[in-house]
């Protein structure tokens, strides 16, 4: 069952999500940059949610212990 992403709900991303070491290094660099610019800390979970907020065609579903990022289903025109 799919649930649309609701920004008001605080959710933690599972540690079981796998990303490449290159992508992780980029996220850490971005995290440091935003921390300096905004003068506040961002958790890695918050950073991932922030990045995904710029991609309107994606939604985040939760299934047990991990998150699934997938394309939004288009509503059929009737």
Q: Residues 29-63: pLDDT tens digits?
A: 877 777 777 776 667 677 777 776 666 565 656 55
Check pLDDT > 70 for residue 4: no
| Long-range contacts of the stretch 4-11 (C-beta < 8 A, 24+) | 4/59, 5/52, 5/59, 5/60, 7/49, 7/53, 11/45, 11/62, 11/67
Position of tokens 């992508």? Answer: 23
68: Cα within 13 Å, side-chain hemisphere: 11
Range in 10-14, 60-64, 72-76 the model is least confident about: 10-14
> How confident is the model over 19-29, as a mean pLDDT?
75
pLDDT of 15 reads 46
pLDDT score for 77: 59
Mean pLDDT score of the chain: 64
Which among 34, 58, 56 has a CA at the least distance from the CA of 46? Answer: 34
């Amino acid at each position: 069952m799919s649930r649309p992403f609701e920004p008001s709900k605080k959710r933690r991303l599972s540690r079981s999500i796998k990303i490449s070491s290159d992508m992780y290094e980029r996220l850490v660099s971005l995290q440091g940059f935003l921390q300096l610019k905004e003068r506040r800390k961002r958790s890695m979970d918050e950073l991932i949610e922030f990045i995904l907020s710029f991609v309107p065609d994606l939604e985040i579903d939760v299934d047990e212990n991990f998150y699934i990022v997938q394309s939004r289903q288009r509503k059929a025109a009737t």
